[in-house]
Structure 1
């Protein structure tokens, strides 16, 4: 599961391969043009794989960090139903943000750890982050802003993957 930027970069690499292959096709019989095109295609495939791997690595790292933060919560109670998200927006820096609201239904002040997944319109995972809402008063709602770790493009959606009250 890689982000749109990886697919876009792979598209640019592919366009370069097509250009090199087209340049290699000529009416003259001067050298091994199909070999050059093959080498260019191989190099482009390797570059695209490298870009996809970097995108996957960044997503895997963000997911692992989110899991670690949630696993570090002591005496947490599942509270996914007490959390709502606003409408996500992509800022001038390319990072997506979304308002996170958590209602504390407990009888004393509690904190919340909320994992927010940033997805594309098809539900494919683009990024993951955890936001903490500290000391939300009993019966009150606390607000925070979740921000993606990297630049996201296109139609970004958000989902509460997990929430703990502690």
Structure 2
């Protein structure tokens, strides 16, 4: 997962750097190559900081997801019992996806479902855990996964882990 995200962050660094160089190269009081070099340096530093914050946000979301999954005591793999609707970007810029959990057990159960929001290339953008509580035996329960932050572009929702407990 991290390898995919790192490549995405590197791409963002290159794009931000290119924009900063293009935006700053019109200063006629300094040499064009010196201005471009300084702008590229400033842009690279800003992009590294942005990428670092993005990595920190994703790491924090992943840690919180692990913590929530750990709360599902005696959970069993239920990935085959969970389906996700298509991801959509809500008015506030956050991605959402409908989560449906079918309880195939003979008593009421709850589900903890890790939803990975990815881009079309499979790069991890965000991670959330949805809890669907007290689903009756043989019935289905629903919840909604909502990203922790604004996401753009083509976003997909993928079940990472699903536990029935």
Q: Which structure 2 residue ranges, 5 or more long, are not aligned? A: none
TM-score by length of 1: 0.87
Structure 1 position 38, deviation (Å)? 1.9
Distance 1:85 1:12 in 2: 34
Distance 2:22 2:32 in 1: 13
Distance 1:126 1:31 in 2: 40
SS of the residue corresponding to residue 153 of structure 2 reads coil
Alignment of 1:32-51 (within 5 A): 33-51=32-50
Aligned positions, number: 161
Structure 1 position 7, deviation (Å)? 5.6
Structure 1 position 71, deviation (Å)? 1.6
Structure 1 position 104, deviation (Å)? 0.5
- Give the superposed CA RMSD: 2.4
TM-score by length of 2: 0.88
Alignment of 1:29-108 (within 5 A): 33-108=32-107
The answer to whether the 8 A contact 1:114-1:164 is kept is yes
> In the alignment, which of 7, 15, 20 is matched to residue 19 of structure 2?
15
Q: Which shows bigger deviation, 112-121 or 8-17?
A: 8-17
**Alpha-carbon displacement from aligned partner over 1:38-59 (angstroms, at most 9, x marks no partner):** 2221111100111111111111
Structure 1 position 12, deviation (Å)? 4.5
Q: Which structure 1 residue ranges, 5 or more long, are not aligned? A: none
Greater Rg over alpha carbons, structure: 1
